[in-house]
Structure 1
Amino acid sequence: MATEPEFQQAYQEIVTALQDSTLFEKHPKYQKVLPVVSIPERIIQFRVTWENDKGEQEVASGYRVQYNSAKGPYKGGLRFHPSVNLSILKFLGFEQIFKNALTGLDMGGAKGGLCVDLKGRSDNEIRRICYAFMKELSRHIGQDTDVPAGDIGVGGREVGFLFGAFKSYRNSWEGVLTGKGLNWGGSLIRPEATGYGCVYFTQAMIDYATKGKESFAGKRVAISGSGNVAQFAALKVIELGGVVVSLSDSQGCIISENGITAEQVAAIAEAKIKFQSLEQIVGDYSAFAENKVKYLAGARPWVNAGPVDIALPCATQNEVSGDEAKGLVAAGVKFVAEGSNMGCTPDAIHVFETARSTAKSSSEAVWYAVGKASNCGGVACSGLEMAQNSQRVRWTRETVDKELKKIMINCFNECVGAAQEYSSEENKNALPSIVKGANIAGFVKVADAMFDQGDVF
């Protein structure tokens, strides 16, 4: 664990939440679960080789961490990025176990990926990479065994190539991947689901904190990232009347005093498929000619966006530091919900949780939602896609969206309920901690299944 800092951080978050509650005091048997659930059921590491467009052979390490199947088939994304390593995949897979449990659907936890940079590669080369990766992965997955999805670097194009490769190698057309194209087994709302779900969860927090008196309307919302999650979170915020004041990528951020428009989000979506940076997009696309934005190189939005009511980190892990969290609190933030996995550092979480626990009223508090709860909309919709595949039907957009919203609201209520039920004596008068509630609720669901199945005894 000492050489796996991301995994250790994710593990420690669970341990801290459980130990700072009355769960082990009320039910001592649950202490047995931690050492078992923290070790993956299986880790598959394999060599991936392909021919690049120059006719040269390249090689990279591929992985699938099949972490826990107590709640259902292994379920979790595939990440194609040069940062991919076992620590990151174990952290993501570990988070996925409890995130999937919080959806209320039958899914276990897993994660996988390839240590590769797709930038600058042609569609043909990316197809060859996907086929080379799936040549080995296809031995270990199936609709009742392990159902991967996309993640960073794996969008609709890559999912299509991976599905085609699986079908070719296994001679089987099945719902073995989610995030598929609508024309071949995909679900409406799936591309939007993580971003939409994060906004729905945040709305549930707003409803709870304000007793239904407030909404996104008129709220200034800082969003990080500019990929799938950030794009659809921004579009849903705009639809609900909020003002999106920022987006970002790995090279910098854009700030808009008057609000980023839906047309600008569409331009970013079009350009990001071509791996263009925000700096290039702002200069090249006409959508930014009339409604000007400020580009800040090498900056993140949190201390640059001005007054902020809501912050939605939607980029990657550890993207909000302790100092940035203090800056957000000083800027007036009241609601923080992670669209990314483990988006806030432990220092940042401490800042937000202190601002909640010391508040005299819910209107003065900062409400922080950890990613395993607030970004579970993506995998929830993946579960709905699996259900549609099993039935050989396609639900309407309205049906999927209604189910997604219901799952996110139920998830929020379960987090609040667990936080209140297992609150320690010194915290019983404080407002409920969503981060502790999410960790406890997800853990108990998985632990009960593991006891029932004899994984823990």
Structure 2
Amino acid sequence: MDKDVEEFMKNVIEKNPGEQEFHQAVQEFVTTVMPYVKKNPRYQKAKILERLAEPERVVMFRVSWEDDNGEIHVNRGYRVQFNSAIGPYKGGLRFHPSVYLGIIKFLGFEQIFKNALTGLPMGGGKGGSDFDPHGKSDNEVRRFCQSFMTELYRHIGPDTDVPAGDIGVGGREIGYLFGQYRRIVNRFEGVLTGKGYNWGGSLIRPEATGYGATYFLMDMLKTKGEDLKGKNVAISGSGNVAQFASKKVTELGGKVITLSDSSGSVYMPDGINDEMWNMMYELKTVRRGRIKEFAEEYNLDYYPGKKVWEIVDKVDVAYPCATQNEINGEDAKRMVDNGLIAVVEGANMPSTLEAIDIFIKNNVLFGPAKAANAGGVAVSGLEMSQNSLRLQWTSKEVDERLKGIMHHIHESCVKYGKEGNTVNYVKGANLAGFVKVADAMLDQGIY
């Protein structure tokens, strides 16, 4: 590790003890950006990296709610407003038992540069709670969301901070959150994205992250004269991103051979067809069931407690859409040894630093999360635009804008990440996002 990076990380770790995910995100970013900063002393003089690693604001609060049996529960809520140099804070809310300050800070830090890459005027933020909506009734989820928003509302607004969904926060939760916000402030405004279409949402928003990452994957493959036709694609997860990634990959000629959830993984040797996709979508989105039921319905091999990356060896494209650090160095080496061509990150930071290093050293096309999965926040930004204009665009209009944004992100990565005949997409994404945000910070002075 470069001595300047080592010294920088020492300070970050001392200031943020025990927050491993945040440390990992900062280290991955600073390692690629530090050489550029050294060549451009104006960034060093203004302490841009030090300022980027420190959130502008951290809000942490109690969330008390009552279950259907009348028992009181207490959870913890968070909103980390990381950087607003290029626009209002923008980033999702995650409801999951694993949530703590370190995870929210890692997600918020990544969001700064992901949002910058879209070309839209959005700063970076993230929030959530250690509340687990799984297994809760609709009324219990509603009570929690109303309690959560009763504190959060005072920190957000359409020109201040615009949250969205993430793991555990879908259309149901966004509806309850928006309803409580509207009731408190007595205004109907674009303070949340991911809303229902009939009350201010955007078409293509549910599909956006999975579709966008697949468009980015196609652009990467084109640099090698390849496409998705006939490629075996291993997708992890079965939530929103995995659902629409599998749909778009199949439409473009790829064969999706795996899906998973927290209980285990499913192997589909013949790929997923429309009937199977519809059943999986209904199972996970409407019934909120487990992937095991999908495997049983179609007599597929089910591996309880196993990650996708433990059950596949030979695969052309790895498409992690589940959670952070799901692909480790051992997984990466095994897939590379068996002819892996590309990795596209649908989830946030799903590959460990060791895995990323193996992919890049072996010239595997590697689309990092902050570039590849920016489609979701891009269409959230388009939803904000539609709310401001009091208009709603057609599916075709939104999808075309999404394709354009993902192509722009790919071109930015190539511009800053070109190394001889290859492209280091990690370096390209980090530098492209950094330059946009850092220059805005320089223009606006010290704050």
Shorter-chain-normalised TM-score: which range?
over 0.9
1:195-219, Cα deviation, whole Å (9 max, x unpaired):
0000000000011122xxx311111
Contact 1:99/1:376 (8 A) holds in 2: yes
* SS of structure 1 residue aligned to 2:423: coil
Pick the aligned partner of 1:102 from 106, 117, 120. Answer: 117
Contact 1:245/1:305 (8 A) holds in 2: no
* SS of structure 2 residue aligned to 1:50: strand
Contact 2:258/2:308 (8 A) holds in 1: yes
* SS of structure 2 residue aligned to 1:78: strand
Query: For the residues of structure 2 that align with 1:303 and 1:57, how far apart are their CA atoms?
Result: 40
CA-atom RMSD, angstroms?
1.2
Matches within 5 A, 1:59-70: 59-70=74-85
Query: For the residues of structure 1 that align with 2:224 and 2:37, how far apart are their CA atoms?
Result: 29
* SS of structure 2 residue aligned to 1:49: strand
Pick the aligned partner of 1:244 from 246, 256, 263. Answer: 256
Task: Name the counterpart of 1:142.
Answer: 157
Q: What percent of counterpart residues are identical?
A: 56
Task: Name the counterpart of 2:141.
Answer: 126
1:202-249, Cα deviation, whole Å (9 max, x unpaired):
000011122xxx311111101000000000000001111110010111
Ranges in structure 2 where 5+ consecutive residues have no aligned partner: 1-15
Task: Name the counterpart of 2:275.
Answer: 263
1:258-287, Cα deviation, whole Å (9 max, x unpaired):
10223222222222233321113322x4xx
Q: Give, as a single letter, the amino acid of the residue that structure 1 aligns with 2:279.
A: A
Task: Name the counterpart of 1:379.
Answer: 377
* SS of structure 2 residue aligned to 1:138: helix
Indicate whether 1:282 and 2:282 are aligned: no
Pick the aligned partner of 1:413 from 408, 411, 414. Answer: 411
1:301-349, Cα deviation, whole Å (9 max, x unpaired):
2242343111110001001000000111122211101000001001100
Query: For the residues of structure 1 that align with 2:50 and 2:283, how far apart are their CA atoms?
Result: 45
Matches within 5 A, 1:246-395: 246-273=258-285, 274-283=287-296, 285=297, 288=298, 292-356=299-363, 366-395=364-393
* SS of structure 1 residue aligned to 2:86: coil
Contact 1:80/1:114 (8 A) holds in 2: yes
Task: Name the counterpart of 1:448.
Answer: 439
1:430 CA displacement = 5.5
Q: Give, as a single letter, the amino acid of the residue that structure 2 aligns with 1:455.
A: I
Query: For the residues of structure 2 that align with 1:241 and 1:115, how far apart are their CA atoms?
Result: 39
Q: Point out 4+ residue stretches in structure 1 off by more than 3 angstroms.
A: none
Query: For the residues of structure 2 that align with 1:450 and 1:311, how far apart are their CA atoms?
Result: 36
Query: For the residues of structure 2 that align with 1:268 and 1:81, how far apart are their CA atoms?
Result: 22
Q: Give, as a single letter, the amino acid of the residue that structure 2 aligns with 1:446.
A: V
Indicate whether 1:197 and 2:212 are aligned: yes
Pick the aligned partner of 2:41 from 17, 20, 28. Answer: 28
* SS of structure 2 residue aligned to 1:77: strand
Ranges in structure 1 where 5+ consecutive residues have no aligned partner: 357-365, 421-427
* SS of structure 2 residue aligned to 1:39: coil
Contact 2:313/2:334 (8 A) holds in 1: no
Query: For the residues of structure 1 that align with 2:416 and 2:83, how far apart are their CA atoms?
Result: 22
1:86-118, Cα deviation, whole Å (9 max, x unpaired):
000000000000000000000000000011111
Q: Give, as a single letter, the amino acid of the residue that structure 1 aligns with 2:241.
A: V
Q: Which TM-score applies when normalising by structure 2?
A: 0.94
Q: Give, as a single letter, the amino acid of the residue that structure 2 aligns with 1:26.
A: K
Count of paired positions: 429
Q: Give, as a single letter, the amino acid of the residue that structure 1 aligns with 2:387.
A: N
